[in-house]
């Protein structure tokens, strides 16, 4: 008799190949069509219109990422972790806030730095700033929210990196930083960045391998950003349609530290993806969320989201991981307070 307790292999293979983000988008659309047909077309139209509005920023972002990968310019970041510790912390924070590293790339890069003897303070500066901002994130944030918000988040990412780096530098020699690494650390990335690093060459179009790398990186990031932003804009449309503005205004609106603290606390569990969070924050701001709470939300959620947090957990012991999360929350609150005053 055939074993009916397990799915046939072809069905399992098909399910593993299906894109869960696009399936979620389709599920939202289907649920709207069944449960509230009058809202189906307006919500879908609004989501695609918002995606089209962000289109130029997406294209700029994917071209920039493709150029960085094809030219090998990511190798320039390795020079940031050489020299005096103060210099390494400053350059580590700047590199983290401006580099195009994805969360899985951080693991082998940081593992190599730690193995080479780079101080944990400089690595922490890079770690804290890296998940918060990159060229693609800046472009998407500037298009969906505002250029000023994107610039402020970039400065906050660098400042939080500096705060974490210099805090650990002040603790150097203490028992807290003694033997901070786990016994085994990963040495390679098993997904999007498994290819070898190329030497630096700005004229990438002259080599077939680099042209191919540019096309592949640009296409993969176009699909990645497109599907996540489509999901985010669908959620944004639902948020605006079904969540009363007075609820958002009561919980996260107004002045003072209360909404900022709540934004920082809610940031971690509510964070889907760095790019998906941008239009969601735009929707929350439209519903009455205070600017300071919005900044605290994206900072706390960006540093503590699962991919970024796993990259840190994979390499260091729990006390260093706790410090990483502590820097994230404190930095998010301070950034929220500062942006609340400026905005």
Top-confidence residue, 275 or 203: 203
Q: What pLDDT does 168 receive?
A: 92
Share of the chain above pLDDT 90, in %: 13
Q: Are 238 and 105 in contact (CB under 8 A)?
A: no
Q: Are 132 and 156 in contact (CB under 8 A)?
A: yes
Least confident of 7-11, 114-118, 247-251, 298-302: 7-11
Q: What is the mean pLDDT of residues 69-83?
A: 68
Q: Are 299 and 152 in contact (CB under 8 A)?
A: no
Rg (CA), the chain: 21
pLDDT in tens, 271-308: 555 666 777 788 778 878 888 988 998 888 777 765 56
Q: What pLDDT does 16 receive?
A: 59
Q: Are 207 and 192 in contact (CB under 8 A)?
A: no
Most confident of 25-34, 58-67, 179-188: 25-34
Among 305, 236, 310, 240, smallest CA distance to 274 is for: 305
Q: Are 335 and 293 in contact (CB under 8 A)?
A: no
Using CA atoms, how far residue 19 sits from 14, 123, 210, 226, in Å, is 10, 33, 28, 13
What is the C-alpha to C-alpha distance for residues 192 and 101, in angstroms, rounded to an integer? 11
Whether residue 82 has pLDDT greater than 80: no
Least confident of 263-277, 279-293, 321-335: 263-277
Q: What pLDDT does 159 receive?
A: 95
What is the C-alpha to C-alpha distance for residues 256 and 337, in angstroms, rounded to an integer? 8
pLDDT tier at 2 (50, 70, 90 boundaries)? very low
pLDDT tier at 155 (50, 70, 90 boundaries)? very high
What is the C-alpha to C-alpha distance for residues 223 and 226, in angstroms, rounded to an integer? 5
Q: What pLDDT does 127 receive?
A: 86
- In this structure, the number of other CB atoms found within 10 A of the CB of residue 318 comes to 9
Whether residue 14 has pLDDT greater than 60: no
Q: Are 165 and 130 in contact (CB under 8 A)?
A: no
- Average pLDDT of the chain? 77
Residue count of the chain, please give it.
343
Among 27, 73, 29, 64, smallest CA distance to 48 is for: 29
């Amino acid at each position: 008799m055939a074993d009916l307790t397990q799915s046939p292999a072809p069905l399992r293979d098909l399910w593993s190949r299906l894109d869960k983000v696009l399936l979620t988008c389709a599920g939202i659309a289907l649920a709207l069509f069944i449960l509230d047909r009058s809202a189906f077309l307006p919500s879908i139209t609004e989501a695609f219109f918002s995606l089209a509005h962000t289109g130029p920023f997406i294209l700029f972002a994917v071209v920039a990422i493709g150029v960085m990968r094809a030219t090998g310019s990511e190798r320039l970041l390795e020079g940031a972790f050489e020299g005096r510790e103060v210099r390494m912390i400053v350059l580590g924070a700047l590199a983290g806030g401006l580099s195009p590293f994805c969360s899985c790339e951080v693991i082998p890069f940081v593992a190599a730095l730690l193995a080479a003897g780079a101080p944990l303070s400089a690595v922490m500066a890079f770690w804290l700033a890296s998940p918060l901002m990159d060229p693609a994130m800046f472009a998407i944030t500037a298009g969906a929210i505002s250029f000023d918000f994107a610039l402020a988040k970039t400065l906050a990412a660098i400042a939080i990196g500096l705060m974490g780096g210099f805090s650990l530098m002040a603790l150097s020699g203490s028992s807290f930083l003694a033997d901070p690494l786990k016994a085994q650390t990963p040495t390679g990335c098993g997904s999007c960045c498994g290819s070898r690093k190329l030497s630096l060459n700005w004229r990438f179009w002259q080599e077939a391998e680099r042209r191919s790398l540019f096309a592949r990186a640009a296409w993969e990031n176009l699909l990645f950003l497109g599907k996540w932003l489509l999901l985010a804009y669908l959620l944004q449309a639902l948020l605006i349609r079904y969540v009363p503005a007075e609820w958002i205004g009561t919980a996260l609106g107004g002045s003072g530290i209360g909404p900022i603290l709540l934004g920082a606390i809610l940031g971690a569990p509510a964070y889907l993806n760095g790019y998906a969070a941008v239009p969601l924050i735009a929707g929350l701001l439209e519903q009455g969320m205070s600017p300071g709470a919005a900044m605290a939300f994206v900072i706390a959620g960006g540093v503590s989201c699962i991919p970024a947090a796993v990259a840190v957990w994979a390499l260091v012991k729990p006390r260093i991981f706790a410090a990483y999360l502590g820097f994230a929350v404190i930095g998010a609150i301070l950034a929220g307070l500062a942006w609340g005053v400026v905005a």
